[in-house]
């Protein structure tokens, strides 16, 4: 199924934020912050993997992703869609179906036996590949998959994250250096706006969340986490 409707960007962002709240994929806790794999402490945590368990929501999100990619990148720009192990794999399947394209997936590392493959599926030499992830903070994991595709002979000029943290200035610099245009639907600011509008949390918690979004590493350092991050 090839998607041909193009909703307003702000509508898509707001609706995705509301969907994440509806499925309880968003967590705010300034009193007991979450420790991320980077060592950073955060009062916010998001679980985009839950989207796959809600058919109406995941279908709408994939409509949004297809609209975003076709409007911002083009209609005939890609030969296949790639998902990274593990969270990106189901979304690559959904988006490939929307765009009428083949799908491949990329392992974090070669599997170590058999063909020792890192890329599964058929990717012709020089194929123009769209890489998708459920979310990205600063692009670190996405570029591991992008680098693997490029090493294998594919071309990657575009990536799409359903959710983009959009709180690290270094993120845009990383994508610029890597010559990849990042597309996304919603950010933490959209999620916070819904929380404020619907009064989902008290003002103190919302203020702490906003302080984190404004200066995440400083907030982390004040709360027992790392204050420097290698992006």
Annotated binding site: 107-108, 111, 113, 133-141
Task: Tell me the backbone φ, ψ of residue 135, rounded to 5 degrees.
Answer: -155, 160
**Distance of alpha carbon 84 from alpha carbon 31, whole angstroms:** 33
Q: Can you tell me the distance from the alpha carbon of 26 to that of 33, in angstroms, rounded to the nearest whole number?
A: 13
Known binding residues for 5-phospho-alpha-D-ribose 1-diphosphate are 107-108, 111, 113, 133-141
Q: The tokens 């009428």 sit on which residue?
A: 100
Residue 177 CB neighbours (<10 A):
11
Residue ranges for the known binding site for orotate are 137
CA 192 remoteness from chain centre: 17
Cα(196)–Cα(207) distance, integer angstroms: 10
DSSP for residue 138: S
């Amino acid at each position: 199924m090839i998607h041909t409707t193009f909703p307003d960007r702000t509508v898509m962002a707001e609706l995705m934020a509301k969907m994440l709240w509806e499925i309880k994929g968003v967590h705010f806790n300034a009193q007991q912050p979450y420790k991320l794999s980077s060592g950073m402490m955060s009062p916010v945590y998001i679980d985009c993997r839950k989207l796959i368990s809600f058919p109406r929501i995941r279908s709408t999100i994939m409509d949004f992703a297809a609209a975003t990619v076709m409007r911002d990148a083009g209609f005939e720009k890609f030969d296949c869609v790639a998902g990274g192990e593990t969270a990106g794999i189901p979304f690559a399947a959904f988006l490939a179906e929307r765009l009428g394209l083949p799908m491949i997936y990329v392992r974090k590392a070669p599997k170590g036996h058999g063909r020792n493959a890192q890329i599964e599926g058929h990717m012709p030499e020089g194929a123009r590949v769209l890489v998708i992830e459920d979310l990205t903070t600063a692009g670190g994991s996405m570029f591991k998959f992008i680098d693997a595709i490029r090493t294998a002979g594919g071309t990657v000029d575009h990536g799409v994250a359903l959710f983009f943290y959009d709180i690290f200035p270094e993120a845009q610099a990383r994508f610029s250096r890597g010559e990849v245009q990042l597309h996304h639907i919603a950010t933490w600011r959209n999620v916070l706006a819904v929380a404020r509008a619907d009064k989902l949390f008290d003002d103190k918690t919302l203020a702490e969340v906003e302080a984190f979004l404004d200066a995440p590493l400083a907030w982390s350092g004040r709360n027992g986490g790392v204050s420097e991050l290698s992006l």
